[in-house]
Amino acid sequence: MTETIQDDFVRSFRASAPYVHAHRGRTFVLLVGGELLKSAGLVSFVHDLALLHALGVRLVLVVGARPQIDARLAERGLSPQFHDGLRVTDKRALDCVKEAAGVARVELEALFSMGLPSSPMEGARLRVASGNFVTARPVGVKAGVDHLYTGSVRRVDADAIRARLDADEIVLAGPLGYSLTGEAFNVSTAEVAVAIAAGLGADKLVGLVEAPSVPSGDGRFGELSLTEASALLVSAGDLAVDVRRQLAAAVACLEAGVPRAHLVPRRADGGLLRELFTREGVGLMITRESFEDLRPARLADVVGLLALIEPLAAQGLLLRRPRELLEMDIERFTVATRDGLVVACAALYPHPEEHCAEVACLAVREGYRGDGRADLLLAYLERSCVEAGLERLFALTTEASHWFVERGFSVAALEDLPSGRRKQLDRQRRSKVLMKRL
């Protein structure tokens, strides 16, 4: 190993530490198509899941079997029947689904049992659980077409799944659900994944897509809010079929209260690990928090801003800003409002010649704190800086330096400030300089 490779390894291993802490004890539901099972990447995918499990992530794997079902139908001289995009499952098709799901389960269980010395699975000892977790009911007759053994999820037994996860097992689910009449039904794995994620109160849905890339969000962020993702589903007619299906599942999960979803191209080597353990990721992240409650301030907000800032200025936490100054700088402010009340604000002062900007006057009204509004405002400002090609964000603060450090800022020297800003500095305040590279 050359020194550079060693350095890279140490650097990236250390850089993944915050994600290791963040993911430990969390529940992720992974949704992947049956294409995985016949792909060259299957073994390394299983290795990556074993690693996630070893790092304390609680995993539910929902695997489809569409290509395998179609292949079995073809062997019997049958062709898949669809109506309005929904499979019509007759008795013979149901046999194909049962066979395909059964074989998929056995093959995955075999792979999860690997443990050869000197392989990534050495010492892994993984236990996999599957069972009658999903109760289904027939879809029934739609537009005059009886969908027969095509079902939809009636409920999932979240307690039973939770018990398996508590026992340190990986839970495996597929395209089958069972009815109170004792029959099996063919259900969409996307629907199963959404129901399980919602029922468990999972922390993430991770959808692995076959397409080589996923919609990129906006530019380099690879991130969409729930509203943006829902809009994309409506507006983008050219999404690959499985991307559309997974994006719809992501939106449904977030609407059901799951905080985040990711879409990751399955074929990107180590894509899952890169998405979960690096800042840049490789896929698309969809978050429930959204910037939609934030907006640029208007002159009409000055009274509300004064009411928010004044008490904090009186405590010496913020610089006092007279009404005239607020009016003059109103375009610099972003506000969060609730029922017409300004509940949070922040101002951004760009210094384009030195490729940086100052975040100032960041405040959340008492009674509205602790809901992540300040984080959202900061993320929003960081995003606009990056869009404007700025490279650094700085803040001057007397009492909130730790708040900024905990959000990736480092203490910097006065000399690191743009010269224009240094000249205006009120040195009496003895503010600390906090700087973040974007």
Dihedral angle, C-alpha 348, 351, 355, 357, nearest 10 °: -20
Burial of 116 (0-12, 13-18, 19+ CB in 10 A): exposed
User: What are the residues facing 134 on neighbouring strands?
Assistant: 156
Q: In angstroms, rounded to a whole number, what is the distance separating the alpha carbons of residues 110 and 128?
A: 10
Cβ distance to ligand COA smaller for residue 108 or 396:
396
Provide the minimum distance between the beta carbon of 353 and ligand COA in the complex, in angstroms, as a whole number. Answer: 23
Cβ distance to ligand COA smaller for residue 230 or 397:
397
Provide the minimum distance between the beta carbon of 373 and ligand COA in the complex, in angstroms, as a whole number. Answer: 5
Provide the minimum distance between the beta carbon of 387 and ligand COA in the complex, in angstroms, as a whole number. Answer: 22
Cβ distance to ligand COA smaller for residue 31 or 359:
359
Are 68 and 75 contacting, i.e. CB atoms less than 8 angstroms apart? no
Cβ distance to ligand COA smaller for residue 226 or 374:
374
- Output the DSSP codes for 164-202: HHHTTPEEEE-SEEE-TTS-EEE--HHHHHHHHHHHHT-
Cβ distance to ligand COA smaller for residue 184 or 362:
362
Are 409 and 435 contacting, i.e. CB atoms less than 8 angstroms apart? yes
Q: Compute CA 306 distance to the chain's CA centroid, rounded to the nearest angstrom.
A: 36
Cβ distance to ligand COA smaller for residue 45 or 394:
394
Residues 6+ apart with CB under 8 A from 109: 128, 172
Provide the minimum distance between the beta carbon of 64 and ligand COA in the complex, in angstroms, as a whole number. Answer: 40
Cβ distance to ligand COA smaller for residue 157 or 375:
375
Are 359 and 348 contacting, i.e. CB atoms less than 8 angstroms apart? yes
The amino acid at 5 = I
Provide the minimum distance between the beta carbon of 107 and ligand COA in the complex, in angstroms, as a whole number. Answer: 45
Provide the minimum distance between the beta carbon of 386 and ligand COA in the complex, in angstroms, as a whole number. Answer: 20
How far apart, in Å, are the Cα atoms of 315 and each of 310, 319, 325, 342? 9, 10, 20, 19
Rg of the chain, C-alpha, whole Å: 26
Cβ distance to ligand COA smaller for residue 111 or 347:
347
C-alpha dihedral sign at 136, 137, 142, 146: positive
Provide the minimum distance between the beta carbon of 370 and ligand COA in the complex, in angstroms, as a whole number. Answer: 4
Cβ distance to ligand COA smaller for residue 159 or 399:
399
| Number of C-beta neighbours around residue 423 at 10 A | 8
Provide the minimum distance between the beta carbon of 360 and ligand COA in the complex, in angstroms, as a whole number. Answer: 6
Burial of 351 (0-12, 13-18, 19+ CB in 10 A): middle
The residues binding ligand COA (CB under 6 A) are: 312, 317-318, 362-364, 369-370, 373-375, 395, 397, 399-400, 402-403
Q: In angstroms, rounded to a whole number, what is the distance separating the alpha carbons of residues 259 and 183?
A: 34
Provide the minimum distance between the beta carbon of 381 and ligand COA in the complex, in angstroms, as a whole number. Answer: 12
Provide the minimum distance between the beta carbon of 315 and ligand COA in the complex, in angstroms, as a whole number. Answer: 8
Cβ distance to ligand COA smaller for residue 131 or 372:
372
Are 188 and 194 contacting, i.e. CB atoms less than 8 angstroms apart? no
